[in-house]
Amino acid sequence: MSYTQYRGAFERDGFVVVPRFLTGNEFDELKRNLERYISEVVPSLPATDAFYQDPNRPETLKQIHGMERDSYFEAMMSKRKWIELAEALLGEPCEYHGGPEWFNKPPCTEHPTPPHQDNYYLKYDPPLVLAVWLALEPIDAENGCLRYVPGSHTRGIRPHARSNVLGFSQAIVDWSSEDEATEVHVELEAGDAVVHHAQIIHRADANRSTVRHRRAYAHVLRAVRANADDAALSEHAAALREHLATFDLPQ
């Protein structure tokens, strides 16, 4: 399938929805392996790779990193489908950045995602980087869908400072009601993907449902010529360690 039809909207808005990006057996296999990984691997992970809203309640698992340690998810990073989508949107050769991630907003938890820009963390120049964020179930305004400020990817990086949200260490400091008035919320069906530029401003409300989760699987991909600023990454890594130290994470 050609994804070039989505490039114009992506370049203009900084995000685009790709309906039914993963379907059928491919989608079912991913979900089965996520369930296996969560039940068999996550309990043994260090606290820095699996975040919980409440560490004493396994059902409040909200974020997983470092999934490439598992052979299935390591193999996911060779899938051409994701590369082809990134190359169609960025217009040049691409490759995976790091391993896959899993995100959740469990029901009955207060877990908003603060407004931020991914490239504040990633430090790529030029910022030819995007995230493919795959809905694992229906996602809407009630259970905490993503919200974007269209076009904000063209206006540089806004000031960020440490947040109090585990898993999202930095938040935009000058976020305003004017920003919120311009944002667009994105509702997805299971198997749909929303792809966003690494510099677009985005956030998500808490899950207001009492029964529904808001689970998603994501890959970050970059243009081959995009280079990370090693000095800036070292500074961010130090700031991240300080951020994690403020939470009572299990040892």
pLDDT value, residue 238: 60
Q: What is the mean pLDDT of the chain?
A: 92
Tell me which long-range contacts 175-180 makes (C-beta under 8 A, separation of at least 24): 175/114, 175/115, 179/115, 179/149
pLDDT tier at 84, thresholds 50, 70, 90: very high
pLDDT at residue 87 above 90? yes
The pLDDT, as a whole number, for residue 15 is 98
Do the Cβ atoms of 164 and 114 come closer than 8 Å? no
CA 196, CA 229: separation in Å to the nearest integer?
21
Is pLDDT of 250 > 60?
no
The pLDDT tens digits for 93-133 are 999 998 999 999 999 888 899 999 999 999 999 999 999 99
Q: Give the per-residue pLDDT at 110.
A: 85
Q: Residues of the chain with pLDDT > 90: what percent?
A: 80
pLDDT at res. 244: 56
Q: What percentage of the chain exceeds 70 in pLDDT?
A: 90
Average pLDDT over residues 47-51: 90
Q: Which helix (H) or strand (E) holds 189?
A: none
Question: What does the alpha-carbon distance between residue 155 and residue 199 come to, in Å, rounded to a whole number?
Answer: 8
- Per-residue pLDDT of 170-208, as tens digits, reads 899 999 999 999 999 999 999 999 999 999 999 999 999
Residue closest to 68 by CA, chosen among 59, 79, 60, 57:
79
Burial readout 41-65 (b: 16 or more C-beta within 10 A, e: otherwise): bbeeeeeeebbbbeeeeeebbbbbb
Inform me whether the pLDDT recorded for 32 exceeds 90. yes
Local structure of 160: helix, strand or coil: strand
